[in-house]
A = this chain, B = another copy of it.
Amino acid sequence: MPKKFDKGITSKDSDYSKWYNDIVNKADLAEISDVRGCMVIKPYGFAIWEKMKAKLDEMFKKTGHQNAYFPLFVPKRLFEAEEKNAEGFAKECAVVTHYRLKNDPNEKGKLIVDSEAKLEEELVVRPTSEAVIWSTFKKWIQSYRDLPILINQWANVVRWEMRTRLFLRTSEFLWQEGHTAHEQKKEALDEALLINDIYKNFCEDFLAIPVIQGLKSESEKFAGAEETYCIESLMQDGKALQMGTSHFLGQNFAKAFDVKYAKKDGGLDYVWATSWGVSTRLMGALIMSHSDDKGLVLPPSIAPIQVVIVPIYKNTDDLKKIKSFVLNILEDLDSKNITVKFDDNDKLKPGFKFNEYELKGIPIRLAVGLRDIKNSEVELARRDNNSKTIVKIKNLSTVIQNTLDDIQKQIFVKAKLNLKNNITIVSDFNEFKNVIDSKGGFVYAHWDGTNETEKKIKKETKATIRCIPYENKFGPGKCIYSGKDSHQMVLFAKSY
């Protein structure tokens, strides 16, 4: 008996949050684990993450960065060294205090912590690696000749979260963290900006997610940074999502870890630094940016399978004929570096397969039956706009390549339109509150630049300053809250 297929996805409009969870679960991307706050990334979800990794890794390497690996644990005394950084992460870190379990004398088969194996110094599971890496950089850096150091690490990190959501906020997550050291302040600033551009290009060109680049306000910047640059995007429910951050750390960590270098022209100085990262959170952004009530929608660049071929047949003879017909298509697409899957699973009916691949966001589905073979054609269905066309075999690989390019483009255009339609410019606080409450999205408003005003606005509306955009489209004005002078409008939104 073929399995029945029931999508059972909550509609996006009725409950966005439940819709998101349904997509993550039913498209087999990830699931909640038996470990509090931690997720299991399932093979299909991990295949998408692997494609993200490969592309980002290529972009980092092309710009001179090298991968390395640093310890998972941060001894408490290193963790404390940069005070603001420590303060920022102390409240949410997993602490290792013992290095052994022993048999429970009171209950056979149970284990308890062995109190004799208490660590002299506690170890923090890295929430981020600045401390461990700067204690290492101290050994690597003596002179200007040792600079710049451009390091990246792919790793797992832990930040204890009370309320978690798959991909968006989990206690353990996967990410890359870049850590660089430079002679000059300007070099470090340029590096932070370069990386923010890499992140932007990656998100827009590969994930088809349009972003806004900007600077974080004082209260939203990374603990220990001088400046935090970021890219922010807008989800379909009108909430903003921080996609990536790139920090200019000034000489803060160099001072905390006493990392000085001999200058070209004599004398010693502290080195300048950056750090930057994106995480499995991008999986959440990818899902929320493009998907619909039928399931995941994937831009072709990031789809582990770009084309799926489903045979339509009545008996094994038919299937045999279709198989030999499809063989040429597979070879042709493969030679053009298009990833294709032929699903000849005999236990499942075509309707079930159609549904499943729709759910999993495969950009193009081909259906091939006996009549198609006779007519030398196949049916091509697009996931993004549900259109179907009949394509002659002789044109197939060209049509597929063009269609993949078009899907990539159209998905981006759609997301860009959503972003554009959901940026509102307001001139007073009443309008601000109205937009935030009803329409949502990004709101441009004048702000007096103080932490105090930012806090009050957040308290009253739950909206925060997502960034001070690079692109300063508006001149000076008056703060919508305090009426004081404002240099430029900034972008507010409710956010994930």
Chain A residues with a Cβ under 8 A of chain B: 3, 31, 33-36, 38-43, 46-47, 49-50, 66-76, 78-80, 83, 86, 90-103, 109-111, 113, 122-125, 132, 135-136, 139, 145, 151, 155-156, 158, 160, 172, 174, 347
- Decide: A73 and B113 in contact? CB cutoff 8 A: no
- Decide: B68 and A90 in contact? CB cutoff 8 A: no
- Decide: B96 and A174 in contact? CB cutoff 8 A: no
**CB within 8 A of A69: which of B40, B90, B92?**
B40
- Decide: B33 and A70 in contact? CB cutoff 8 A: yes
State whether A99 and B94 are in contact (beta carbons under 8 Å apart), knowing that A31-B139, A68-B43 are contacts in the complex. Answer: yes
- Decide: A34 and B135 in contact? CB cutoff 8 A: yes
Can you spell out 24 A-B residue pairs with CB atoms less than 8 angstroms apart?
A3-B145, A31-B136, A33-B135, A38-B72, A38-B73, A40-B68, A41-B69, A43-B151, A46-B66, A46-B68, A50-B67, A71-B172, A72-B125, A73-B172, A79-B101, A90-B111, A91-B100, A91-B102, A92-B100, A94-B96, A95-B100, A100-B160, A101-B122, A156-B156
Contact residues in B for A39 (Cβ distance below 8 Å): 71
Contact residues in B for A40 (Cβ distance below 8 Å): 68-71, 136
Contact residues in B for A136 (Cβ distance below 8 Å): 31, 33-34, 40
- Decide: B102 and A92 in contact? CB cutoff 8 A: no
**CB within 8 A of A122: which of B93, B113, B123?**
B113
Closest to A44 in B: B66
Closest to A91 in B: B100
Main secondary structure of the interface of A (DSSP, over half): mixed
Please state the number of chain copies in the assembly: 2
- Decide: B79 and A111 in contact? CB cutoff 8 A: yes
Give 14 new A-B contacts, CB below 8 A, not counting A41-B69, A43-B151: A34-B78, A35-B123, A46-B67, A46-B68, A72-B158, A76-B101, A79-B101, A91-B102, A92-B99, A93-B100, A95-B96, A95-B97, A95-B100, A97-B113
Closest to A65 in B: B43
Contact residues in B for A34 (Cβ distance below 8 Å): 75, 78, 132, 135-136
CB distance from A114 to the nearest CB of B (A): 9
**CB within 8 A of A33: which of B83, B132, B151, B155?**
B132
Measured between alpha carbons, how far is A156 from B71 in the docked complex, in Å?
Answer: 10
- Decide: B101 and A93 in contact? CB cutoff 8 A: yes
- Decide: B71 and A42 in contact? CB cutoff 8 A: no
Measured between alpha carbons, how far is A155 from B47 in the docked complex, in Å?
Answer: 15
Contact residues in B for A97 (Cβ distance below 8 Å): 95-98, 113
- Decide: A68 and B95 in contact? CB cutoff 8 A: no
CB distance from A202 to the nearest CB of B (A): 20
- Decide: A99 and B93 in contact? CB cutoff 8 A: yes
Contact residues in B for A76 (Cβ distance below 8 Å): 101, 111
Closest to A156 in B: B72
CB distance from A266 to the nearest CB of B (A): 14
Measured between alpha carbons, how far is A354 from B40 in the docked complex, in Å?
Answer: 48
**CB within 8 A of A109: which of B70, B83, B100, B122?**
B83
Measured between alpha carbons, how far is A71 from B96 in the docked complex, in Å?
Answer: 16
Closest to A96 in B: B94
- Decide: B110 and A80 in contact? CB cutoff 8 A: yes
